Amino acid sequence: MNFFYESYVVDAIRDGRFSLAYSPHPLLTFALFLLVPVLVWWLYRRTTRPLTPRWRLLLISLRSAALIILLLMLLRPVISTWEINPQETYLAVLVDDSESMQIADMAGGQSRSEAVRSVLYGDDGALATLAERYQLRTFGFDKSLRRAGSELELTASGNLSSPDAALQQVADQLGGLPLSGVVLISDGADNSGGDVLARARDFAAREIPIFTVGVGQSDIPTDVGITSVSAASTILDNSVFDVQATLIQRGYAGRQVNLRVMDGDTEVLSRAVLLGADGSSQRVDLELSPERREPILYELLIEPLDQELILQNNRYQFLVDNSERPALNVLYVEGHPRNEFKFIRRAVEGDESLRLASYLQTGPGRFYRQGINSPLELNNGFPTDASELYTYEAVILGDIERDFLSDEQLGLLQDFVAERGGGLLLSGRLNDAFIDTALADLLPVTPERSTTLPAYLQGGITRGTHATGELFRPRLTPSGEFSPLLRLSSDDSENRVQWAALPALQGVYVTGRPKPGATVLAEHPSIQYQGQALPVIATQRYGSGRSMAITTASTWRWQMLMSSEDDSHERIWRQMLRWLSQDALERVTVNFDKPFYNVGDQVTVTARVRNEEFQADNNASLWLQRTNPDGSMSDVAMEWDISEDGVYRSQFTVDQEGVYNTLVDVSSAVGAGIENEKNSAFVVTPSLREFNNAGRDAGLLGRIAESSGGQYYDLSQIDQLVSDIERTPGAYSREVQEDLWDKPWLLALLIALMSADWMARRYRGLS
């Protein structure tokens, strides 16, 4: 303790808390201290024996130092300090009890929690020393605070660290007591989102200092962890899921690790991954094909590496919802029989995720319906009211004449895309008579009247006597090469090979420039108009929906001229139709406020309800049925959020790990109303937030201490904290003056100097 005490004296002198009680005047005192070495030098001018300059300097220094210390003691040196009356005030000790305290990165392979317990508890522990001066209140904290009367109550099992909440609860529980200070022992993790510095400033306003103690290494030297995993169904196939995992590592740059995806005890996927630079994160793309039509809980595993400190973040659970989904409804309207119509219908056959209802004009006043759900569907042709059109998620328009759609139907189609969020695809050419209508506004390209085009660009898609009617192979743009709409293989090089093998198309409809915000996916390799290549496939967002234009009517050649085993034509069309329709608004949508949860988290379920015209419905009645992982069920009414039209919410806390299934049952009070059900699922996983960025955050702990008027220490400095804490000013401490002249260390220094002076004089034979 002497070393720490001497350090305290030095700090006191530096901070201006040192003074001389009997000093007559600062200038006179300074003169007296200068006079001492002058007087000694004068006395050593003549000696009984001759002295060398070095010996003379040594003797002058020893005698001067001894006399200066004597003079200092006579002037009574004091330090102004603070003290409290023993056992009259309280001290709160808060110990981090979250899962990050399990990390074994302390000396001797101890975990952080074990190291803390070893310095706090026992007869010689810091708590025993502090208990001699204070009424102690010891707590463990993670997301909340609880009393910890013994070390056995510290289990390091909390899945969230919230020093902000812990300090708030200390203020609430001990606010009525004379609280001298708070000792906060933690690795500095704060994943609660609270403002702990604002809380520390509140303590400073009440003159209650917070002393923080940092535990653990600031940088974890060896670790490989999974920080996040996301999974979404692909438009390639709605039973195929793209999985993106993010890894971070330190200490294993250039090493290879094995990733495994487990479905229970069954391995469904394995991938070797080469790790990047230390401290960098890298994304790994995986592809899963679930075998069951239900929500499936997978686990991603990293095989442990040698000397890896944190193994808990080598596992990550994620949910893939492969439940049965209703088929997406697509309406296809065609003005006359043509190859494109026949082959598009064939491409969709057998795809359970798509239902293609078609309305084909076979002759004057003659129409043919296919893929309909009832005899009344499309009985009167293209829908004339929103309730009928809005049952579809996408619309394909083939080669139709202007009288096929009325102005009212075109306006309805525009609302279908902009407000209902549906998709629109124009396949082939746009009749000149549509150029000044709402249909032209919907397209991602600018239509051009055929009569205004140069002669060599006229007529190609309808007759093959011009350059626009010749064979061509569409050229994928950079956007098209990597677009999921046109992918034939997940491998980039293989995708290019398969596109190069497709048969040439014939005939292109000439349009103007793409509209602002549109994306061209494929273009003509040789024909240009208005200074740029003719777009062949282009897309754009429009209001809540999206639109697409394919300016050729010959994609059927991709099937007709390929082997029967090749599915490139089917794949491209299925992907385009899924893209058009899968993001269309639903009458009932259910969302959760997080992608996953941990035990103890609050879940907020939000349901958005629309009526038959897809307007917000504030008059619906909603019930949420929840099935827990253990099979138990509960029902609760969802309440309308008055601040948002058509939005209903429900909240609850989860206390089990596993998959939760929810069913939102909706009935509407508007008119005939709607009745609908929406199934969803979410997962509660083991928490990893305590093991990501798990190094000691000394910066945060230091700012907490500084903001409150306390001080930061490492765990190895716990003895210094015990010594310093009672000398720190607080609301219940008083200022006192502590004498230094009678301190043993000062007397020992004086005796040592006088002894050294006497021995030196005897050695030289001086009197």
pLDDT in tens, 638-663: 999 999 999 999 999 999 999 999 99
Instruction: Tell me which residue of 396, 332, 315 sits closest to 369, measured CA to CA.
Output: 332
What is the tally of helices (H) and strands (E) in the chain? 18, 35
**């093959």: which residue's tokens?**
464
Higher per-residue confidence, 572 vs 21: 572
Would you state the pLDDT for residue 2? 44
Q: Which of 176-190, 217-231, 460-474, 498-512 is least confident?
A: 460-474
- The model's confidence at residue 673, banded by pLDDT at 50, 70 and 90, is very low
User: What is the pLDDT of the chain when averaged over all its residues?
Assistant: 89
**């959020």: which residue's tokens?**
641
Q: Report whether 508 contacts 554 (CB < 8 A).
A: no
Q: Report whether 580 contacts 353 (CB < 8 A).
A: no
pLDDT, tens digit, for every residue of 301-360?
999 999 999 999 999 999 999 888 889 999 999 999 999 999 999 999 988 899 999 999
d(CA 532, CA 522): 13
Q: Which two tokens stand for residue 694?
A: 């798990």
Would you state the pLDDT for residue 729? 67
Q: Which residues pair with 369 in a beta bridge?
A: 359
Would you state the pLDDT for residue 749? 86
What proportion of the chain, given as a percentage, has pLDDT over 70?
Answer: 93
Domain 588-684, CATH? 2.60.40.1930
Q: What angle do CA 448, 451, 456 make, to 5 degrees?
A: 90
Instruction: Specify the amino acid at residue 2.
Output: N
3-state secondary structure 505-548: EECCCCCCCECCCCEEEEEEEEEEECCEEEEEEEEEEECCEEEE
Residue 244: C-alpha distances to residues 227, 229, 284, 659 (Å): 11, 6, 6, 20
Higher per-residue confidence, 37 vs 112: 112
Give the mean pLDDT of 196-225. 93
Higher per-residue confidence, 672 vs 82: 82
Would you state the pLDDT for residue 515? 95
Q: Which of 20-29, 220-229, 471-480, 655-664 is least confident?
A: 20-29
Would you state the pLDDT for residue 5? 46
Residue 375 pLDDT > 60: yes
Give the mean pLDDT of 271-288. 91
Would you state the pLDDT for residue 163? 93
Same topology for domains 223-321 and 588-684, yes or no?
Answer: yes
Beginning with the edge strand found earlier in the chain, give each strand of the sheet holding 18-20 in spatial order: 18-20, 77-83, 734-739
Residue 71 pLDDT > 60: yes
Residue 87 pLDDT > 70: no
Domain 223-321, CATH? 2.60.40.150
Q: Report whether 156 contacts 99 (CB < 8 A).
A: yes
Spell out the long-range contacts of 589-595 with Cβ–Cβ below 8 A and sequence spacing 24 or more: 589/678, 590/662, 590/664, 590/678, 590/680, 592/680, 592/682, 595/230
d(CA 586, CA 321): 18
Instruction: Tell me which residue of 357, 347, 362, 283 sits closest to 327, measured CA to CA.
Output: 357
pLDDT, tens digit, for every residue of 690-744?
888 889 999 999 999 999 999 999 999 999 898 888 777 666 666 667 777 777 8
Instruction: Specify the amino acid at residue 205.
Output: A
> Please, which residues have CB within 8 angstroms of residue 127's CB and are 6 or more apart in sequence?
93, 120, 121, 136, 138
Give the mean pLDDT of 252-271. 94
d(CA 703, CA 197): 7
Q: Report whether 354 contacts 330 (CB < 8 A).
A: yes
Would you state the pLDDT for residue 1? 40
d(CA 95, CA 288): 43
Instruction: Specify the amino acid at residue 578.
Output: R
d(CA 708, CA 197): 8
> Please, which residues have CB within 8 angstroms of residue 745's CB and are 6 or more apart in sequence?
2, 6
Residue 486 pLDDT > 90: yes
Domain 328-581, CATH? 3.40.50.880
Q: Where are the domains of the chain?
A: 2-83+738-764, 90-218+695-732, 223-321, 328-581, 588-684
Residue 455: CA count within 13 A, CB half-sphere: 0
Domain 90-218+695-732, CATH? 3.40.50.410
